[in-house]
Amino acid sequence: MKERRARPRYKPGEIVPGTGVYKIYHNAHRLMHEAALIENTLFPKCRKCKHAVKFVLARPIQGKSVLPFRPTELLEEYEGGEEKSVKAG
């Protein structure tokens, strides 16, 4: 039995599980909008509400003819997630 209503939500900095169009919910300053995101990249964060955005897969995209995510006035690339090899102490 499938749970059709189970829609996982993703946060900025998590890895995109599959290429597709994602609905992006902001913390009130902006209405929901959509953006195409590529598998194995990081979910971007919002310039305004930062980590308060949530991503929900709207529809998967087959094939690889998708333009990679580009930062917009609203969203910026998530940074600082991968480089933790340098430790002090």
- Using CB under 5 A as the criterion, which residues of the chain lie in contact with Zn ion when the complex forms? 26, 46, 48-49
The nearer residue to Zn ion, 20 or 44, going by C-beta atoms, is 44
Residue nearest to Zn ion (CB): 46
Beta bridge partners, 60, equal: 20
- The least distance separating Zn ion from the CB of residue 27, rounded to whole angstroms, comes to 6
28 sits in the region (left: phi over 0; alpha: psi -120 to 50; else beta) called left
Specify whether the CB–CB gap between 19 and 39 falls below 8 A: yes
Taking the least distance from each CB to Zn ion, the nearer of 49 and 61 is: 49
